[in-house]
Structure 1
Amino acid sequence: MAVPFLSSSLQLTPTSPILFTKLTPPIIHNQRPTTCTVPTKPRLRLLRRSAVAGTAVADQIEGGGEVLLNLEEEKRVEVADYDWTEEWYPLYLTKNIPDDAPLGLTVYDRQIVLYKDGEGTLRCYEDRCPHRLAKLSEGQLIDGRLECLYHGWQFEGEGKCVKIPQLPASAKIPKAACVKTYEVKDSQGVVWVWMSTKTPPNPEKLPWFENFARPGFFDISTTHELPYDHSILLENLMDPAHVPISHDRTDFTAKREDAQPLVFEVTERSNRGFAGTWGREKDGGKGSNLLRFDAPCVLQNNREFEGKDGVKNYFSGLFLCRPTGQGKSMLIVRFGVTKRSPLVSVLPQWFWHQNACKVFEQDMGFLSSQNEVLMKEKVPTKDLYLNLKSSDTWVAEYRKWMDKVGHGMPYHFGHRTISLPKVPPVVEHAPAGLIAALSASYPAKGGIGTMHAPNLANRYFRHIIHCRSCSNVIKSFELWKNILSATAVALTTLAILVVSRQWKAVLLGSAALCSAAAYACLRAINLNTNNFIRTHRRL
């Protein structure tokens, strides 16, 4: 998914390359290397299909055509010093953190619990009770303390255990009865966590977004849990070329006929990421959109424009990604502007949230399958992707950045290097079996219906449970639907009992209006909780 900015993609001709195979093996990081050496200019075998005869024609070439990226190989892969734990990761929107319950979250495969204590201070612990390893996120808050629901052990402050109900009155609480803590910061409406317990937090690495600090800057923020790896998610977000095709007519800017070549210019590269401009080729290659990627997983797409009054306005599409395990990720999306459209004021916030859900659902099928192929093939992306200069520049830059720092991550798939996870995803996600894993990952806190089924493909679990405003809207629609349905039944009953034709007409008319209003509430609930399915995929 990407925001429908000005975007387009390149139409391939019938004689464009459709397949290539490379004869060099991938570089696999098993430990922290300094450099990796590979042969230069590997030979590629491109297969072209004849538009007339429909036959495959093989050409032996070196390098490749000008439309393709990354055919010129470097002798050495640059490797930077990097440790994934020494970074700030976005956890949650501050406004959505519950006041009366702990919140279980993950960063890669590390499980943590976030909660507000009695003074409203955010606390973050390892999500594991030192007693018998029960999840603290399944617990409850008692007088501002986090209580494990297994045996009632209570923790507060810097992870200190302050109560063990089963301990004799004369005994002291063991010093080892404490939990590991993580530093958290609330910055510009987002809670961030520093994942290292050995290195002190680095405040200079905490992201700060200039546009979101401007006076009058208005944003719409949503949170989404997604069933594919964070690197696949970031690739998708930094790919403007797919928007006209994948999100055709989803809003007022994405149109299939606008797919076209794009022009990219990389203006900055560092061990912390990259930045550049992009625009449409038909506009003369002027990059009106500014893209910036910063480690570990922050992506911005900014734009400046002048209004009719000559005042400069600012727009930001901000994507804060968090890896939540193999094949899973969580995303905080923030669209902000200094001059908002009248539609934003007219339409309710839940409408924009459900539209964002729809956009992710449009991409979900092929992004999940892309994730599956990467895990099965176990080779770098240069052996799988056919990147185009006119659409895939940012994707190539991102995977090359992972070549530099991937050795410092739990696993990675770079442009020329890979490091595989230490354990298979089925073991990471389901150490005690599939049913146990589902119970542990998605505990049933009320409701076992279809809408509440624990499934990342379900919009309710991907967004609604993480959004306080949408959750309240669903509850309100449910309440009004029940009230209006009951009123319609009561009015119909009265219409049957009364003798006067005039009153019968009034009562039946009122019952019809209540039924229509109840149906509208039902449709609103479905709009917010049901997944989008493309017409040609419906059975």
Structure 2
Amino acid sequence: MAVLLHHPLLFHTTKTPSLHTHTHKPTLFRTTRTLLNCAAAVAAPQQQIPSSSDGTEDVLVEEQIGRVYPVGYDWTEEWYPLYLTKDVPDDAPLGLTVFDKQVVLYRDGNGDLQCYEDRCPHRLAKLSEGQIVDGRLECLYHGWQFEGNEGKCVKIPQLPANAKIPRSACTKTYEIKDSQGVVWIWMSHKTPPNPSKIPWFENFARPGFKDISTIHELPYDHSILLENLMDPAHVPISHDRTDWSAKREDAQPLLFKVTERTERGFAGFWGREADKTPQNFLRFEAPCNLQNNREIVDKDGVTNYFSGLFLCRPTGQGKSMLIVRFGSTKRSPLAKFFPEWYFHQNAGKVFEQDMGFLSSQNEILYKEKVPTKDLYLNLRSSDTWVAEYRKWMDKVGHGMPYHFGHSTISLPVEPAVVEHAPAGFVASIAASSPAKGGIGIKYAPNLANRYFRHVVHCKDCRNVVKAFEAWKNRLSVVAALSLTFAILFNARQWKAVFLLAAALSGGGAYVCSTAVAMNTTNFIRTHRRL
């Protein structure tokens, strides 16, 4: 979010920067395919804006008068951000979803990434529940093994020695590409992959550009997530005093200038109204990619580039996964004194600060079943990007599994998939027991739990949690033994030595416990008054 784009520990700027003209690599857009047989066009009646004697009727975002014309769009003919390349496990399959399509991602024996439909052609068991054997993906139900980019079945343990594996035993595959540290997936099996649609982020290819990347699973719809990410007005309020980067006293009118509207998104500048000239450049591009860029020329005439990149993937009704990447060509000198996991847990804190009202917003949208223009009151000075995004959904929503546009809506046809939901309280406890193959109550799959939302997806943070827990246990043992010896020994000198050792070990164990809690425990808001 915008709060992290201006994080004082991540980025270093001068006090009197001059704005450099933003340059952007041209984006390839598809040719419009007019839908002559598509419900013609959807009427968008003009909303009655309240008038007043003091001229405040112009504070609301202008309504589009007339008709909304859909454009050609098919959600499957897009590249979706599947995962951070560095976090894909080397020794286990990974189950992921795009809308309601379930896929499994894994590394084969050569280290190459393969992606299949997440179901065994034998009896529909999830392949992501399987294991990697000799570089092959094995279904743990009956041991069928698959390999290669064609999903070929190469082993069936129950097959007679003189029998051949049926050709139909192959699993369906998906095309994937690794670009700029992100694994992208092409969802269509009818249309060949279009490499030109893979997004290219210019700043991330610049010399000296360094970024911090995290991945988060979130309990609300991707459209709600995206409009939250493109809403800078909420930052001073919702993220007040989040590591000194936002203050509620800074809440003020914002200025937005839309410079581009296409079939695939929109772009423009934004900033504080008091600054007159917006300094941040935002671009949204289909299907779910958002970037916020800034260019600053320092006192030596050198242009420094700053980017906040948000790559969103719909993971089902009321669920989404987000890859967050913040980077720059010039970082604050203080950043090197903080471990990377500190920034990861801080990102988790930011999402938790918004989670309560975004989850309730998600619930209301699904419950009310009306377009957002009937529910939202969008202000020009804070909600311009939100209105632009929902209006873009009006044009392309017909090509999605479901959508909530500004003037149009299409509800989900497929029922929501509920995973990891044992029937009843007793079954839930039994399923979470490690003896039953579960992973324990503390780390039981739960989108409200920071460990499940982020740590399980991040190699670095998983290793950090394991290391701190191991050191906590060791130091606790040392503290207990030292305290015992201090009690047993009569010599004053030895008592002092063992008491000091117990105090230091106990303090170390407490620090390790705190570090584990920072990575696994949700942020709890304490309201602050002006």
Structure 2-normalised TM-score? 0.89
Change (3 A) 1:104 1:162: same
CA distance in 2, matches of 1:405, 1:433: 37
Residue in structure 2 matched with residue 20 of structure 1 by the alignment: none
Question: Are residue 202 (structure 1) and residue 194 (structure 2) matched?
Answer: yes
The answer to whether the 8 Å contact 1:6/1:280 transfers is no
Amino acid of the residue matched to residue 214 of structure 1?
A: R
Is residue 252 of structure 2 the alignment partner of residue 247 of structure 1?
Answer: no
- Measured against aligned partners, the alpha-carbon deviations of 1:408-447 in whole angstroms (never above 9, x if no partner) come to 000000000001100343xx326997679999x9997966
In structure 1, the residue matched to 2:314 is: 323
Amino acid corresponding to residue 418 of structure 2 in structure 1? H
User: Cα 1:430–1:512, aligned 2, differ >3 Å: closer, same or farther?
Assistant: closer
Larger CA deviation: 449-458 vs 312-321: 449-458
Rounded to whole Å, the distance in 1 between the matches of 2:253 and 2:43 is: 32
Matched residue, 1:520: 511
Q: Cα deviations across residues 330-376 of structure 1 (Å, max 9, x unaligned)?
A: 00000000001112111011110000000000000000000000001
Q: What amino acid is aligned across from residue 191 of structure 1 in structure 2?
A: V
Show the 5 A alignment for 1:291-306: 291-306=282-297
Alignment partner of 2:496 out of 481, 498, 505: 505
Q: For the residues of structure 1 that align with 2:176 and 2:486, how far apart are their CA atoms? A: 61
Equivalent in 197, 203, 211 of residue 211 of structure 1: 203
Alignment partner, residue 429 of structure 1: 418
Report the counterpart of residue 287 of structure 1 in structure 2: 278
8 A Cα contact 1:67 1:389, kept in partner = yes
SS of 1:465 mapped into structure 2 = helix
Per-residue deviation, residues 445-497 of structure 1 (Å, max 9, x unmatched):
96644430211000000000000000000000001001101111111222223
Picking from 463, 476, 484, the partner of 1:472 is: 463
TM-score (norm 1): 0.87
Partner deviation per Cα, 1:139-182 (whole Å, 9 max, x = no partner)? 00000000000000000011000000000000000010010000
Contact 1:4 1:243 in 2 (8 A): no
Contact 1:38 1:76 in 2 (8 A): yes
Distance 1:442 1:177, change over 3 A: farther
Q: 2:213 aligns with which of 217, 221, 229?
A: 221
Equivalenced residue count is: 495
In the superposition, relative to structure 1, how do residues 156 and 450 fare at CA in structure 2: closer, same or farther (>3 Å)?
same
1:64-463 superposed matches below 5 A: 65-70=57-62, 72-157=63-148, 158-284=150-276, 286-425=277-416, 428-429=417-418, 448-463=439-454
Structure 2: distance between partners of 1:101 and 1:263: 48
Q: Against the structure 1 CA distance between its residues 151 and 447, is the aligned structure 2 distance closer, same or farther, given a 3 Å change threshold?
A: closer
Compared with structure 1, are the counterparts of its residues 349 and 92 closer, same or farther at alpha carbon in structure 2 (3 Å cutoff)?
same
Letter in 2 for 1:3: V
The alpha carbon displacement at 1:533 in A equals 1.1
Whether the aligned pair in 1 keeps the contact of 2:226 and 2:288 (CA below 8 Å) is: yes
1:31-61 C-alpha deviation (Å, 9 max, x unpaired): 97253243643546x5xxxxxxxxxxxx799
* Partner Cα distance (2:352, 2:215) in 1: 14
In structure 2, distance between residues paired with 1:432 and 1:215: 47
Q: Distance in 2 between matches of 1:431 and 1:407?
A: 31
Query: Residues of 2 paired with 1:399 and 1:260: CA distance?
Result: 23
> Which residue identity is paired with 2:382?
S
Aligned position for 2:478: 487
CA contact (8 A) 1:3 1:237 kept: no
Aligned equivalents of 1:433, 1:446: Cα separation in 2: 13
- 3-state SS of 1:373 partner: helix
Partner of 2:41: 36
CA distance in 2, matches of 1:379, 1:201: 35
Distance (Å, rounded) in 1 between the aligned partners of 2:286 and 2:293: 17
Alpha-carbon distance, 1:306 to partner: 1.7
Amino acid at match of 1:257: E
8 Å CA contact retained: 2:432, 2:438: no
Q: 2: CA distance between counterparts of 1:101 and 1:430?
A: 19
Question: Following the alignment from structure 1 to structure 2, what is the Cα–Cα distance between the partners of residues 212 and 435?
Answer: 48
Give the superposition deviation at 1:398.
0.3
- Report the CA distance between 1:294 and its aligned residue: 0.5
Q: Distance in 2 between matches of 1:135 and 1:101?
A: 13
Q: Distance in 2 between matches of 1:391 and 1:443?
A: 48
Segment of structure 1 superposing worse, 491-500 or 226-235? 491-500
For 2:297 and 2:421, how far apart are their aligned partners in 1? 58
Alpha carbons 2:77, 2:186 under 8 Å: kept = yes
Cα deviation, 1:274-312, whole Å, max 9, x if unaligned, reads: 00000111111x111000000000000000002233211
Partner of 2:17: none
Unaligned residue ranges in structure 1 (runs of 5+): 8-30, 47-58
In the alignment, residue 162 of structure 2 is paired with which amino acid? S
Separation in 1 of the partners of 2:445 and 2:419?
14
Distance 1:433 1:36 in 2: 45
For residues 512 and 259 of structure 2, the distance between their equivalents in structure 1, rounded to whole angstroms, comes to 50
Distance change >3 Å, CA 514–CA 91, structure 1 → 2: same
Alignment correspondent of 1:18? none
The aligned amino acid for 1:132 is: R
Cα distance in 2, alignment partners of residues 41 and 525 from structure 1? 53
Q: Are the equivalent residues in 1 in contact too, given 2:256–2:384 (CA < 8 A)? A: yes
* Range 275-284 or range 72-81, more displaced: 72-81
